[in-house]
Amino acid sequence: MMNEQRMKPTKAILGAILLICAALLAAACGGDGGEASDPARSNGNVVELTAAAAKPVVTHYADGVAASYAATIASASKLRTAAADFTADPSEATLQATKDQWLAARDDYGPTEAFRFYDGPIDEPANGPEGRINAWPMDEAYVDYVEGDPSAGIINNPQAFPEITEKVLTEANEDGGETNISTG
């Protein structure tokens, strides 16, 4: 799980947010060809956004991003608890509770898709969890055996994988290409 330190917007994120806001403002102000008044200055079809005008927009956006990530963390924690309850006591009730919590967690995670593509806490190249939590579809044949194909699946390679663990599946995810999905 992400800690609060990782949720703070970085300069790169704030810069990307500023560019997005400036582009949106430019599109909104440039539509009628009229002059925009300060705090944004129009120069033909280009709108220059002042730092003073951008700061509240960027702050509001960053607060929304942080709130979305906080909701995602909270519902993912509930999903982890539901999955642990199901594992400890497999029943129709605990299975249904896990399914329901997965749907709730997915609803919270979905809006954060809009915050990707600027190396934020979800898709940061070195440590971002996006590929582990949102890769799909899972390739069951990459993990499990395939009838009639004794070499298929991680499970059929006990020399390399004597035990199938969370670590094994996490490290195998996308190994050899993005179609080799073992988690997500």
Domain C-terminal end among 114, 134, 154: 134
Listed range (9-13, 53-57, 110-114, 133-137) with the worst mean pLDDT:
9-13
Which is it for the CA torsion 119, 180, 164, 140, positive or negative? positive
Judge residue 79's burial from the number of C-beta atoms within 10 Å of its C-beta, 0-12 exposed, 13-18 middle, 19 or more buried.
buried
- Tokens 């509001």 map to which residue? 60
More confident residue, 67 or 19: 67
Same domain, 71 and 158: no
pLDDT tens digits, 74-99: 999 999 999 999 999 999 999 999 99
Say whether both 70 and 87 belong to one domain. yes
pLDDT for position 91: 97
Model confidence at 1, pLDDT cuts 50, 70, 90, reads: very low
51 and 116 housed in the same domain: yes
Please give the residue that has the higher pLDDT: either 31 or 20: 20
Strands (E), the chain: 40-43, 46-49
Interior CA angle at 30 toward 26 and 35, to 5°? 110
pLDDT at 181 exceeding the cut of 70: yes
Say whether both 62 and 140 belong to one domain: no
105: left (phi over 0), alpha (psi -120 to 50) or beta: alpha
pLDDT at position 81, please? 97
- 36 confidence band (pLDDT: 50, 70, 90): very low
Higher model confidence: residue 184 or residue 109?
Answer: 109
Mean pLDDT of all residues in 48-73: 89
Residues 153 and 180 in one domain: yes
Pair 120, 30 in one domain:
yes
For residue 155, give its domain range. Answer: 135-184
| pTM for the whole structure | 0.57
